[in-house]
A and B are shown apart, each in its own frame.
Chain A
Amino acid sequence: MVTAFRPVTLNEALAIRRTHGTVPLAGGTDLMAAAPSCSPGRGESSPSIMFIGHLTELRQIRMEQGEWRLGAAVTLADILDHARLPAPLRQAVADMASPAIRNVATAGGNICNASPCGDTLPFLYAQAARVLLCDSGNRRELPIERFIIGPGKTALRPDELLTEIVFPAREFVVHRHHKVGARRANTLAKLSFLGLADMDAAGRLSDIRLTFGSVAPTVIRAPQLEQRLCGLPLTEMKHHIDEISAAYDGLIQPIDDQRSTREYRKQVCLNLLRWFLEELIA
């Protein structure tokens, strides 16, 4: 029987993490699915595990000083139930898994799993989200793109827990999210696209965020390309679509795998990008 901890408070959890370096289990939908016939962490050299999904400190959804703060153990269902959270995040979550999975899967688990097809990630990259990491003495914040290093790899230290996800409570006038998969429910994305945009009173594009999921080891976002579009009058956008599309063509380098092919992924990404930009003009 593997050692399991069930701390009552976050402080207790952090103390356990410091002394035992145990594997945190939030909803367990990734950990348990990774080892369906036996439980995670089984075997001689198996590390211990620690339940953290029930910790109330990690289950809060708060708005503070113009920023949303989501506890790491907030479930996907909690996000759907919270009508004031940004629509593009709730839409991405609605397209994830199934009701029964969303009732236990957590926001922090989706981030720490660091899968190229993690469906909350494109939104978090687009919003320049930060993650709050705590150990028993210190806390630090990292931008999401520095926390996620590659598939399954994060900057989390062995004595830390991800405690909060922070992003500006900033709504965009235009938002489009597309997840392309083999079926609607319980499907991992072949690719996904999220576009956010704002216009000013003079009809110029004042802000734009473009992210692509499942087509690279981590989410693709290129602020330098977004900057090239910012400030453009929408009436001139059509002269720039080919050029921007060509720039993203160079950037999006997906792979072939059992879910999809490189060509399909890239072409659909570019189509969705073009569609989004054309829609802005219309």
Chain B
Amino acid sequence: MQITFELNNETVCLDVDPLRPLLDVLREELGLTGTKRGCGEGECGACAVLVNDRLVNSCLLPVGAVVHGRVMTIEGFRQTGAYQRLAEAFTEAGAVQCGFCTPGMILAAAALLRRNSQPDETEIRAALAGNLCRCTGLNMIVEAVQLAARRGGAPW
């Protein structure tokens, strides 16, 4: 099936099995390996991307479901000021260790801050509830999001 969608602000048109998970299409067809495969069943958030500005686990999303949609992966998000702000905060707070969960965490944080630029700790934890980190114990990641929010002025 011919599938057209916007990926990181560019139109892509692919002939792929519409039931293939978006994650596999990103990694294997398009070489965008920033999006990670952890569990492959919706539990860990390593594969999270933004679809129409909302956080989605790409391992469970058939690519046919994003036809005419807007997909943003960590590669596209890197070009934004919001990414710069989050990357600095994650570094300062020590929120990155092995890095496997980081692309998903950054996008989960971005999805939150876009809707709520001054979240409290409960709101941050709720927004990150579907993203697992085995290294940091999550607290440093929560601190990183708080830090990014406190600095304000970023174009979420």
* B45, CB-defined interface residue at 8 Å: yes
Contact call A98/B1, Cβ cutoff below 8 A: no
Whole-angstrom distance between the Cβ of B70 and the nearest chain A Cβ: 13
| Size of B's binding interface in residues, CB under 8 A | 31
* A97, CB-defined interface residue at 8 Å: yes
Q: Within B4-61, which residues are at the interface with A (CB < 8 Å)?
A: 17-21, 40-43, 45, 48, 51, 54-57, 59-61
* B65, CB-defined interface residue at 8 Å: yes
* A186, CB-defined interface residue at 8 Å: yes
Q: Which residues of B contact A100 (CB under 8 A)?
A: 42, 45, 48, 55-57, 108, 130
Whole-angstrom distance between the Cβ of A96 and the nearest chain B Cβ: 11
How far apart are the CA atoms of A153 and B82 in the complex, in Å? 46
Main secondary structure of the interface of A (DSSP, over half): loop
* A250, CB-defined interface residue at 8 Å: no
Q: Which residues of B contact A41 (CB under 8 A)?
A: 19
Return the chain A residue nearest B39 by Cβ. A36
Tell me whether A39 and B17 are in contact in the complex, defined as CB-CB below 8 angstroms, given that A32-B60, A98-B45, A104-B61 are known contacts.
Answer: yes
| Size of A's binding interface in residues, CB under 8 A | 30
Q: Which residues of B contact A37 (CB under 8 A)?
A: 40
Tell me whether A40 and B19 are in contact in the complex, defined as CB-CB below 8 angstroms, given that A6-B67, A28-B60, A101-B57 are known contacts.
Answer: yes
Q: Which residues of B contact A103 (CB under 8 A)?
A: 51, 54-56
Q: Which residues of B contact A99 (CB under 8 A)?
A: 55, 108, 111, 126-127, 129-130
Whole-angstrom distance between the Cβ of A4 and the nearest chain B Cβ: 4
Contact call B62/A32, Cβ cutoff below 8 A: yes
Q: Which residues of A contact B119 (CB under 8 A)?
A: none
Tell me whether A4 and B42 are in contact in the complex, defined as CB-CB below 8 angstroms, given that A32-B61, A40-B19, A184-B129 are known contacts.
Answer: no
Which residues of B are interface residues toward A (Cβ below 8 A)?
1, 17-21, 40-43, 45, 48, 51, 54-57, 59-62, 64-65, 67, 108, 111, 126-127, 129-131
Between-chain CB contacts (< 8 Å), 16 pairs? A2-B17, A2-B19, A4-B1, A28-B60, A29-B42, A32-B21, A32-B60, A39-B19, A39-B20, A51-B18, A54-B67, A99-B108, A99-B126, A100-B55, A103-B56, A104-B65
